[in-house]
Amino acid sequence: MSSPATETSPFIRYPGAERPARHHWVDSYGVRIAVCEWGPADGSPLFLVHGGSDFAGTFDVFAPLLAAAGWRVIAWDHRGHGDSDHAPLYSWDADVRDALSVLDAITPDAVPVIAHSKGGGMMLQLAEALPLRMAKLVVIDGLPSPDPAPDVSDHEQRRFSSKNLADWLDHRRGSAANSRKAGSLEELARRRKRMNPRLSDEWLLYLASIGARKDPDGWRWKLDPAIRMGGFGPWRPDWSLDRLKHLAIPLLGLTATVEEEMGWGTNHRALLPFLPPGARLVPFENTGHFIHIEHPNEVARLVLEFLR
Residue 53 Ramachandran class (φ > 0 left, ψ -120 to 50 alpha, else beta): left
Q: How far apart are CA 280 and CA 249, in angstroms?
A: 12
Residues 6 or more apart whose Cβ sits within 8 Å of residue 195: 260, 261, 262
Residue 231: the pLDDT is: 57
Side by side, the strands of the sheet bearing 22-28 are: 22-28, 31-38, 72-76, 45-49, 111-116, 134-140, 251-256, 280-284
Written as tens digits, the pLDDT of the chain (308 aa) is 344 444 334 578 999 999 999 999 999 999 999 999 999 999 999 999 999 999 999 999 999 999 999 999 999 999 999 999 999 888 888 999 999 999 999 999 999 999 999 999 999 999 999 999 999 999 999 998 876 554 444 455 555 667 777 776 776 677 666 778 899 999 999 999 998 999 999 999 999 999 999 999 999 999 999 887 655 556 666 778 888 999 999 999 999 999 887 776 777 888 999 999 999 999 999 999 999 999 999 999 999 999 99
The pLDDT assigned to 55 comes to: 98
* Residue 6 pLDDT: 41
Residue 53, pLDDT score:
92
pLDDT at 153: 47
Among positive and negative, which fits the CA dihedral 280, 267, 93, 90? negative
Task: Give residue 148's pLDDT.
Answer: 57
Q: What is the pLDDT of residue 176?
A: 66
State pLDDT tens for residues 1-23.
344 444 334 578 999 999 999 99
| Whether the predicted model's global pTM rises above the 0.75 cut | yes
Contact present, 57 and 11 (Cβ < 8 Å): no
Q: Is 69 exposed, middle or buried (0-12, 13-18, 19+ CB in 10 A)?
A: middle
Q: Which residues of 218-246 are buried (b: 16+ CB within 10 A; e: fewer)?
A: ebbbbbbbbbbebbbeebebeebbebbee
pLDDT digits (tens, 9 = 90+) for 185-213: 999 999 999 989 999 999 999 999 999 99
Per-residue confidence (pLDDT) for residue 230, from 0 to 100: 57
Question: Could you tell me the fold of the domain covering 22-160+227-307?
Answer: Rossmann fold (3.40.50)
Query: Rounded to an integer, what is the distance from CA 269 to the centroid of its chain?
Result: 24
